[in-house]
Structure 1
């Protein structure tokens, strides 16, 4: 039986995950509405144009990212001087990023052979200069597990961006509506950070050596992650034009919504929780194993389920002119199956101090994928690039799993049996729903609803049945069932009071 302290940490992680998921799903729900509205006014070429500009902007940002937030979260003894130093370094980063963006904008426009890229980069660079000045003390929302205020800090700027984007696109009927939405979020985030926290940082570089001790490897890992996630769009934009990159980018973003909007927020809550156990190895390993199994229990079926409804999602949200994005959505949905395992493993390596290993594995993945993008595009265009990412993501995830075993973080057979139950249940769901869908002839909305309901029922029954056959182990299924039972009791008591 777990101790009260164990339960409190589990509760903190669950509560933090719920708030973080609410942040991501709330903002992405608005993002989907915004995308659905704007996509019916703008064209794939408009979206591709903004994406092409943002690739260069994002690369400029990652070039000077030293992970100050992560350094403060990992440190349990950070003083005011450390926060002042972290803020000062981030200010220097922000100024340098803006200078890079402003100076490279003409070259980016020339490389893409599209002069419209340059003013977009100027606008985003100026807004980023304001956004980068935000109050460093907002990192304490995560460090102190204050996820309610973290929710507010993350959600409000996205709400501002949502309102500005839709209003500007409706008014201007131009891609500049998207640009204004991006810029407004940066400005709102900086202003809100000083509104929420009274404490103010001061200029200081006193602890710069200490804070940047692990930053080189953090930077290299971030650079590899950026290369994998964005340079494909840069190449497609150069080789195929703005319309091709627009279809590809939107398809990829939509496909990864279910998994990333679950996995990334849990990772946001997981890192500070695991960092608090740095001196308790056994409990930390147990927490890591439960996190991997628990995230996969939900991320895998969401990814597979999204592949099942790719056609309906694209047709309902964006209309027929975006149907070329359907196979992109389906392929990247399958790729997202591994996101839960992979992202949790990356967070674990950072928390345990294996930042070099994390960077090395990420670079091995990045170099291989980038080396194969050109032949993949030559083979089958954007679909070839999508299949390349799908195949190599599974290989890379296996490499992370192998290293986690070497570090003895993944011990025993329980975690592997838990993952096997998830994969088997998701496979049963895919086969059953695909077979049943052949007999349904209805509108896209009706088919979507039927597929979602059937997927949830088949997966739920499969997971529960396999868990029972395994002897009802103390696993993620038991935890989820326990919380579901507790929630049902609360709902029943509330209903009884009303009656």
Structure 2
């Protein structure tokens, strides 16, 4: 491969990480702000109520997308005909799904014994149609590695939807604020993707490309639906008995997902299409893969370990005492969330190799075993189920790792070493943080002290161990500082 091609790919990787970091940082900050505001006003019942129908909407959203974005990303040559076929197919699916969901909304309300679910569901599901209008445009930005533009769409969608949500809640519309927040995000994201994409739909419809994409995308579709059900199975189970318990779980899960989402989404926006472009150059793919895995572990483990350490202070300061029952759930979910960015990265590697069938088998196997765990641990207390799922997720990460070894030149021990060194460092920093935190009573002071102790300890250990990622970051910051002062 030529030097120019190598530099171009490296440039795209740097831009991908940069814009992924900026976008996810901005998005998560906005999500934290809106989450705090909504959490202070809404009750656990309100959260639990809406979270139930959002699960249905999320499943249907995956059905209308049908894995086409990943299928287009893996295709060597893509033209207008492909994007146009996906656009019209997605729109047709979304309209069909909305009609179906509109009809069965009373059944959902009756099953959960929550009549107010019916009108809320019928309105929220409108977001499916808005979302379908942006699938082809989002696929275009994803395929062409326009990470900046896709990142802006995500950030602006979060901002606009958050403003709508808190405005309605402030005016007294309770859970309707979350309903319209969800719809607004779908509309805004699709609109921004449309504006940045060069693709424009036409009435010259030819569904032949759908048949060509279906072999790959159908496996992604089935996998995504199972994956969503895996991630929300506790919400569906808890919702049958108590929307308040569902709300507490949703609040805790939301914060853990926000924390790990910064890292997972940072690489997700470009990892699969980038790894696909160098799938035939295994040596080069190995170098890029291990470097990205180092970065993901470097960021994921300390982020979730710190959140575990400050969970109680964070909840009390942000969403107040009414959400205290969510604290023990959040602490356990941090274990689960710490490994999700790694699993997400491993799955992107499999997709870059075109192994959607293996990807599907992994997800379905996880779902089946998770159901068995829930069956044996199910009871009035949600904590045993959360513990079981979290520990299993940690174990399953190393099962995913087998697929990476099978389709690359990377050794299993090499990957395990990368994960273990950052995990142990985060655990050591967390242990010291917990010990020192016991001597501080004020929530604000405790939050600040724990954060400083954890950060200093984690960075110090890695610096002494000569962590490659840390040294590269320090080198980069030094160069930026020297360059800035040289220019001045």
Partner of 1:150: 150
Give the structure 2 partner of residue 227 of structure 1. Answer: 229
- Against the structure 1 CA distance between its residues 338 and 131, is the aligned structure 2 distance closer, same or farther, given a 3 Å change threshold? closer
* More displaced 10-residue stretch of structure 1: 2-11 or 353-362: 2-11
Give 1:101-120 correspondences, 5 Å limit. 101-120=101-120
How big is each residue's C-alpha offset from its partner over 1:238-290, in whole Å with a ceiling of 9 and x where there is no partner? 02x11000000110111232222211221222111111112222212332222
Q: Could you list the per-position Cα deviations for residues 299-332 of structure 1 after superposition, in whole angstroms to 9, with x for gaps in the alignment? A: 1111111111111111111000100100111000
Distance 1:128 1:483, change over 3 A: same
User: Post-superposition shift, 1:497?
Assistant: 6.3
Q: In the TM superposition, what is the alpha-carbon distance from 1:90 to its structure 2 partner?
A: 1.3
In the TM superposition, what is the alpha-carbon distance from 1:168 to its structure 2 partner?
Answer: 0.9
In structure 2, the residue corresponding to 1:40 is in which secondary structure?
A: helix
Pairwise CA distance, 1:355? 1.1
Corresponding residue number in structure 1 for 2:484: 494
Cα displacement string for residues 203-230 of structure 1 (whole angstroms, at most 9, x for unaligned residues): 3313121111212211221122111111
The question of whether the paired residues in 1 share the 8 Å contact of 2:80 and 2:199 is answered with: no
1:466 corresponding residue in structure 2 = 465
1:55-106 alpha-carbon deviations (Å, 9 max, x no partner): 2222333345421111111112112111111212211221222123212211
Q: Name which of structure 1's ranges 30-39 and 127-136 shifts more when overlaid on structure 2.
A: 127-136
Tell me, in whole angstroms, the C-alpha distance in 1 between the residues paired with 2:432 and 2:3: 41
Partner of 1:472: none
Paired position in structure 2 for 1:17: 17
SS across alignment from 1:172? coil
Q: Is the 8 A contact 2:44 2:243 kept in 1?
A: yes
Deviations 1:373-427 (A, max 9, x none): 243231x622122112112112211211223223345327544333232122112
* Structure 2, unaligned runs of 5 or more: none
For 1:339-392, what per-residue CA distance to the aligned partner results, in whole angstroms no more than 9, with x for missing partners?
2321111111111111111111111111111233243231x6221221121121
The answer to which of 317-326 and 203-212 deviates more is 203-212
Whether contact under 8 Å (2:463, 2:471) holds in the other structure is no
Secondary structure (helix, strand or coil) at the match of 2:89 reads: helix
Query: In the alignment, what sits opposite 2:261?
Result: 260
Give the match's secondary structure for 1:174. Answer: coil
Maintained 8 Å contact 1:95/1:129: yes
In the alignment, the residues of structure 1 paired with residue 438 and residue 321 of structure 2 have an alpha-carbon distance, to the nearest angstrom, of 21
| Maintained 8 Å contact 2:147/2:269 | no
- CA RMSD across the alignment: 2.1
Looking at structure 2, the residues matched to 166 and 232 of structure 1 have their Cα atoms a distance apart, in angstroms, of 27
Per the alignment, do residues 478 and 343 of structure 1 end up closer, same or farther by CA in structure 2, a change over 3 Å counting?
A: same
Distance 1:94 1:171, change over 3 A: same
Between stretches 82-91 and 141-150, larger displacement belongs to 141-150
Q: Please list the CA deviations of residues 418-437 of structure 1 after superposition, one character each: whole Å capped at 9, or x if unmatched.
A: 32321221121121111111
* 1:58 matched to 2:58: yes
Question: Is the CA contact 2:91–2:133 (under 8 Å) kept in the aligned structure 1?
Answer: yes
* Residue equivalent to 1:473: none
Query: Which residue of the partner structure matches residue 37 of structure 2?
Result: 37
**In the alignment, is residue 450 of structure 1 matched against residue 466 of structure 2?**
no
**Alignment correspondent of 1:474:** none
Aligned residues of 2:164 and 2:184 also touching (Cα < 8 A): yes
Does residue 324 in structure 1 map to residue 314 in structure 2?
no
> Hey, what's the Cα distance between the residues in 2 that align with 1:61 and 1:187?
13
- Superposed, 1:326-405 pairs within 5 Å as 326-378=327-379, 381-405=381-405
Distance 1:299 1:479 in 2: 13
Q: Say whether residues 1:212 and 2:219 are aligned partners.
A: no
1 CA distance for matches of 2:56 and 2:351?
27
In the alignment, which residue of structure 2 is the partner of 1:311? 312
The answer for unaligned runs of 5 or more in structure 1 is 468-476
> Residue in 2 aligned with 1:140?
140
Instruction: Answer whether contact 1:68 1:90 (CA < 8 A) is retained.
Output: no
Q: Residue 156 of structure 1: CA displacement?
A: 1.4
Residue 129 (structure 1) shift: 1.3
Return the alpha-carbon distance in structure 2 between the equivalents of residues 134 and 204 of structure 1: 19
Contact 1:98 1:126 in 2 (8 A): yes
Q: Give the distance between the partners of 1:459 and 1:47, measured in 2 at CA.
A: 35
- Report deviation, 1:5: 4.5
Out of 18-27 and 108-117, give the one that drifted further: 18-27
Aligned match of 1:482: 472
How far has the Cα of 1:28 moved from its partner?
A: 2.0
CA distance in 2 between counterparts of 1:96 and 1:150 reads 27
TM-score (ref. length: structure 2): 0.94
For these two proteins, the number of residue pairs brought into alignment is 485
Partner of 1:381, secondary structure, is coil
Residue 478 of structure 1 deviates from its aligned partner by: 2.7
Alignment partners' CA distance in 2, 1:199 and 1:354: 28
Confirm or deny that 1:282 pairs with 2:277. Answer: no
Distance 1:484 1:146 in 2: 27
